[in-house]
Amino acid sequence: MALKMDLHVHTIFSPDALITRKDLILYAKKRGLDGVAITDHDSLDGALKIAKETDFLIVPGMEISSLEGHIIGLDVNELVPPRLSVDETLDRIHEAGGLAVACHPVTFFKESLKRRISPRFDAIEVINASAFPFNYSVTRSEEIASRLGIARVAGSDAHYGPEIGYAHTLVDAESEIDEIVMAIRKGLCSPHGKAIPLTMRLKKELLLLKRKFG
């Protein structure tokens, strides 16, 4: 049976996110997910901490700010530093035993790799539920994935609990991190999902402002 995984979720360990451990598990279960990848900005601490504290399936990862766009490292066993070139970042992810995902490769308002995607990536995040404009982003990312013959994945890029699960990857694997990573490497996965509604995004922005200014 395929596992339903949201492979791109931020927690309060990212400066711009509101999701606590409690929210994460609550909404992941509510959406019928079998697991999530925690991918905080340039930090692995939250992912490792939460993975240790819960029985829910967590793939520890991080979203790395490379010099030329964001790159997700899944199942990395050590911190990959930000502000390296794409090639150096990919080397570091692979040295750390991880899987490199070109997240939101074509979108506005995010640090996107666009033309810098190569077959050195293990997967492309074809569906990112926070991407804008959503349909354009999915179509273009889909084109890149087929041109390069790379595995396709999806994630919500949630920064706020209710956003979790708007996109998910179906992974043909047993419920073990190693198995999941191996299945994605082989392309035994498919992306699914839709855009996070605008009203929900606005609510998140308001909550973030409230947190910032009290």
Write out the residues near Zn ion by the rule CB under 5 A. 63, 70, 110, 157
Sequence-ordered alpha helix ranges (H) in the chain: 21-30, 45-53, 86-95, 134-148, 177-185, 198-213
At closest approach, how far in Å is the CB of 158 from Zn ion?
Answer: 8
- In this complex, which beta carbon is closest to Zn ion, that of residue 23 or of residue 157? 157
Q: Which residue is nearest to Zn ion (CB)?
A: 70
- Interhelix angle 21-30/45-53, rounded to 10 degrees, is 70
At closest approach, how far in Å is the CB of 128 from Zn ion?
Answer: 8
Query: Smallest Cα–Cα separation from 44: which of 73, 5, 85, 83?
Result: 73
Cis peptide before 133 (omega within 30 of 0): yes
- In this complex, which beta carbon is closest to Zn ion, that of residue 4 or of residue 10? 10
- In this complex, which beta carbon is closest to Zn ion, that of residue 38 or of residue 184? 38
At closest approach, how far in Å is the CB of 187 from Zn ion?
Answer: 23
At closest approach, how far in Å is the CB of 63 from Zn ion?
Answer: 5
CA atoms within 13 A on the CB side of 73: 28
At closest approach, how far in Å is the CB of 189 from Zn ion?
Answer: 19
Task: Give the tokens for residue 137.
Answer: 């982003």
- In this complex, which beta carbon is closest to Zn ion, that of residue 25 or of residue 158? 158
- In this complex, which beta carbon is closest to Zn ion, that of residue 6 or of residue 157? 157
Residue with tokens 């920064």: 159
213: CB partners within 8 A, 6+ apart: none
- In this complex, which beta carbon is closest to Zn ion, that of residue 67 or of residue 175? 67
At closest approach, how far in Å is the CB of 129 from Zn ion?
Answer: 11
